[in-house]
Amino acid sequence: MDIFDFAMKTEIEGISFYKQLSLSADNKGLKTIFNWLAEEEEKHYEVFKKMKTDETASYQASLILNKVKTLFEEISESNDILDVNNNQVDLYKKAQDLEQKTKSFYESKAQEVTNQKQKETLLEIAKEEGRHYFLMESIINFVSRPKEWVENSEFNHLEDYYE
């Protein structure tokens, strides 16, 4: 299986996983976030599909973290109760782990391709997977302590994840 077939397979698994998380989330805001993540994985899939036949395919980074920060603030202000059990948090940690593995895979494969445009695209998508990892970490922290999380300045340094 070549890099792009494997990447497409991985992204399909991500789409499915985030859609399942969306279906199992009780909170409307979390459902929205998981649907956004599924859409992001769909974009990655489409890029890899193009890369398989077109060496000039590229990827434009999303601004999902900015949208999520606003949504987290809205959830916190609405006092919408986040009733997330340990099994859900374990699934969020699994998603985080999958994002890290995917990021590492794309970084590794970027070193193997000879086409500079493909290398750049793989590295950009790897960065995006890193943003998803950070997002899942933020979700885990948010559902564990929503009021403290929004007040924490950690999420205010999003520009670090877009460099």
Q: What is the pLDDT of residue 159?
A: 47
CATH superfamily of 3-53+60-151: Ferritin, core subunit, four-helix bundle (1.20.1260.10)
Q: Where do the domains of the chain lie?
A: 3-53+60-151
Q: How many whole angstroms separate alpha carbon 133 and alpha carbon 153?
A: 18
Low-confidence ranges of the chain (pLDDT < 70): 1, 79-85, 145-163
Q: What is the pLDDT of residue 34?
A: 95
Q: What is the pLDDT of residue 140?
A: 87
